[in-house]
Amino acid sequence: MSHSPSPFGDDFGPSDESLIETFVEVEQFVLDLEPKVREVNRVLVPLFGKCPSSKDGSWAYIAKDDNDQYFIAFECLPVDKAFGLVARLAEVLALVEDANSHVRARDSYQPDLGHVIVGDVAQFNVVPHTHVRVVRKS
Q: Which residues touch 52 (CB under 8 Å, ≥6 apart)?
A: 77, 78, 81, 84
Site for other proteins in 12-51 (CB under 8 A): 43, 47
CB of residue 119 to other proteins, shortest distance in Å: 6
Check: CB of residue 82 under 8 Å from CB of residue 106: no
11 near other proteins (CB under 8 A): no
Instruction: Out of 2, 67, 101, 110, point to the residue binding other proteins (CB under 8 A).
Output: 110
Site for other proteins in 49-88 (CB under 8 A): none
- The single-letter code of the amino acid at 109 is Y
Q: Give the CB-side neighbour count of residue 73, counting CA atoms within 13 A.
A: 12
- Binding-site size for other proteins (CB under 8 A) equals 34
131 near other proteins (CB under 8 A): yes
Check: CB of residue 41 under 8 Å from CB of residue 58: yes
How long is the chain? Answer: 138
Strand partners, 71: 63
Binding segment toward other proteins, per CB under 8 A, in 1-9, 18-26, 71-79, 113-121: 113-121
97 near other proteins (CB under 8 A): no
Binding segment toward other proteins, per CB under 8 A, in 26-34, 60-68, 82-90, 102-110: 102-110
CA 54 to chain centroid: 15
User: Which residues of this protein are in contact with other proteins, per CB under 8 A?
Assistant: 43, 47, 103-106, 108-115, 117-125, 127-131, 133-138
